[in-house]
Structure 1
Amino acid sequence: MTRAAFSLPPHSPAAAALHAPVHAALRRLALDTLQRLGTLDVTDRLAVQLGLNLLERLLAVLDEPAPQVEALADALRMASATTRPTVAAALYREFAALAAARFGITPAALPDD
């Protein structure tokens, strides 16, 4: 005996009730990641690694191919001290574009600290 997969009609109120908190959590994680990448201290290797770990977790959860973002994250991980600021800025721009496309997040949506 096989079990039927649980599914809801995509536009039903029950589906919206299930998806809304998940979408809000993902949007918050994307905002946190964008803010971390935008304020990254590129002279601090630990801060760079923590920012990249957060980015990698978000990309894994989204399960969305982002080859340019991933390539820039790898480049930042291996960048020398002199090239790190340029690579970090490029990574921020690429991830900001991804966040805007996926969640409608723009740098103006970031909270002020």
Structure 2
Amino acid sequence: GELTEESQTILKLWLEEHNHVNPSPQERKELLRMTGWSASQLRHQLRQVLNPKGRISAESKEVLRAWLVDNNFREPSVEEREELLDQTGWNSRQFVDQMNRMSG
């Protein structure tokens, strides 16, 4: 389907009504019907809205760099990764990109 302003508003309003919680499979079917989007379009739009990009600053890079140095450049656990995401304000894709740059 087409990504119209109207279909994006439908998603935005739905998320506001549901406290910005990721929709269940049944709710996704309803959103697909309401927006006319494909499943991949819906996934992409949900990622954009629910996991926006944070600012990659010198300070946020230093948070990750210091953690990596303190932990011998090992891969963080799921819990450590969540903590680092909170500390940096980055989304998952930004985190992976920065990890690859710093440990590569």
TM-score bin (small chain): under 0.3
The TM-score with structure 1 as length reference comes to: 0.25
The TM-score with structure 2 as length reference comes to: 0.27
